[in-house]
Amino acid sequence: MVQTTTDPGTISVPMSSILDALQGVLTEDERTALFEQLIGLRPAGVAPGDLITAELFNKMLSDINDLSVRVASLEGTAGGPILDSLDPPTTVAVNGVLIVTGRNFNPDRRFNTVRIGDVEINQFRADSSPTHLIFPVPDLFTGLPDSLPVRVITGGRTSNAMPITVVPQDKTQGGDFFIGAGQTGAAPVTVGGTLTITWQVQAVTLFEDNATLSLVVGSPVGATAAAWLATAVFQPTSLQILPGATKPVQLTVKVPAGATSAQLSLKVVSQDGHVTHISDPVAINVGQPVVVSDPRTAISVTTVFGGFITEGTVTIDGADGQGLLVQKNKNSKFKAHALDTRASGDPANYVYTVEFVGPANGLTVDALLPPSANGIPVGQDGPFDVPLKASAGSVTGATTRIKVICNQTKTGANLTPYTSFRIIPVKIVD
């Protein structure tokens, strides 16, 4: 029977009771070794009123963990698992990778179990080994953050425990929203009439999102941007979308009194504000039909490595968007891509052109290379180079827009001429 003695503030259990309880579990040699270790870990007493310092308390925790490892080591002589370390050592996020390192694990990773608190994991990565169990922390915890013990169970034996703090997954949004060219009807725009524009938005993001939608009004003539914004309505009002999904966003807006022209763009911002994308502007001219890009060809641009044109943020009409930064007085170029997005049909013939939307502000475009391409198969890219230069006398910080145009000219049984384009913000830099 275990005998204890109780003094004010002290509870004592005889060493002999601990060793007697281990009889039949450990060999005599193992019990002797444990006794020697316990004697070595015995701390000096703390008298009433003494200050218990953080250093002393941390030393006690370290000694307790060391004792736990040593006991596990003694059991390990009979085949029990021993936990040596964790990576990361103190904190891991849900869905983050945890590496449990130790000894006496089952060589077949399927016959090991890692227990974090009450959550058990028995599915491990293929690069695990008899000394390393590697796995993503499952999203099965509540009340996070929480400090929980980690143990390994193998062959019915349980290892010593090591603490880990499990925290919620970092949900900071990343990636981008890709916005297709705005589409609208063919009727002329009239003052007081309702204009409807539809964009296709694809979420190439890390997480599901409920993005904010807003209208950006650029270069308004005859009516203010506020007059356009006053009647703007989006459907849906916000964009709830999964990664990889594509959804339509529809804008209806009443053309304000006095308006003659404007550039209308869709702005999509992730719920946490970390991802923003602004569509190419849709040019509105009162009295004329809206000219939209034909979706059968998708225009994109890439910069040339080592050139004097780079991609960066360009602010036009108070809105930040991704565009091109062109260094002054440098001969450079960017590459445009005309991707055929049709599902089927005859090969297409392309004619390429570039024009400025608004003042050029010292920028010039030389001959495109090549100026055209024939026989572009369905689903293929028709790339071409666009030499773009800012003169030495141009103003640093000046902005404009360039319109990269691809005209499909072939006429056939299942192919008619159409025009696709992309409007790209450009900024002059030193």
For the segment 341-360, what is each residue's pLDDT rounded down to a tens digit?
999 999 999 999 999 988 99
Given this model, what pLDDT does residue 7 score? 52
21 vs 174, higher pLDDT: 174
Given this model, what pLDDT does residue 34 score? 65
- The answer to whether the CB of 228 falls within 8 A of the CB of 262 is yes
Given this model, what pLDDT does residue 45 score? 55
Given this model, what pLDDT does residue 26 score? 64
Whether omega before 236 lies within 30 degrees of 0, making that bond cis, reads: yes
| pLDDT at residue 384 tops 50 | yes
3-state SS class at 32? helix
Domain boundary among 285, 316, 342: 285
89 and 62, same structural domain? no
Is 412 part of a structural domain of the chain?
A: yes
For the segment 60-77, what is each residue's pLDDT rounded down to a tens digit?
555 655 555 555 545 444
Domain boundary among 230, 260, 285: 285
Given this model, what pLDDT does residue 48 score? 64
| Average confidence score pLDDT of the chain | 87
Domain boundary among 285, 318, 345: 285
Cα gap 283→261, rounded to integer Å: 7
161 and 119, same structural domain? yes
Structural domain boundaries, residue 146: 82-167
Helix (H) or strand (E) holding 191: none
Cα gap 34→26, rounded to integer Å: 9
191 and 151, same structural domain? no
Is 399 part of a structural domain of the chain?
A: yes
| pLDDT at residue 56 tops 80 | no
319 and 335, same structural domain? yes
What CATH number does the domain containing 309 carry?
2.60.40.2310
The strand pairing partners of 98, in sequence order, are: 135
Number of domains in the chain: 4
The strand pairing partners of 176, in sequence order, are: 204
For the segment 282-310, what is each residue's pLDDT rounded down to a tens digit?
999 999 999 999 999 999 999 988 889 99
182 and 125, same structural domain? no
Given this model, what pLDDT does residue 50 score? 59
Given this model, what pLDDT does residue 77 score? 41
For the segment 318-337, what is each residue's pLDDT rounded down to a tens digit?
777 889 999 999 999 999 99
Given this model, what pLDDT does residue 42 score? 46
The encoded tokens of residue 210 equal 């409920």
Is 4 part of a structural domain of the chain?
A: no
Is 310 part of a structural domain of the chain?
A: yes
For the segment 92-102, what is each residue's pLDDT rounded down to a tens digit?
999 999 999 99
**Terminal-residue alpha carbon distance, the chain:** 87
180 and 147, same structural domain? no
421 and 303, same structural domain? yes
Helix (H) or strand (E) holding 64: helix 54-76
Q: Name the least confident of 40-54, 125-139, 208-222, 315-329.
A: 40-54
| pLDDT at residue 249 tops 50 | yes
Is 47 part of a structural domain of the chain?
A: no
- Count other Cβ atoms within 10 Å, centred on residue 381: 13
Strand 157-158 with 146-154, pairing: antiparallel
264 and 200, same structural domain? yes
Q: How confident is the model at residue 413 (pLDDT cuts 50, 70, 90)?
A: confident
| pLDDT at residue 378 tops 60 | yes
Q: What is the pTM of this model?
A: 0.63
| pLDDT at residue 392 tops 70 | yes
The encoded tokens of residue 42 equal 């015995």
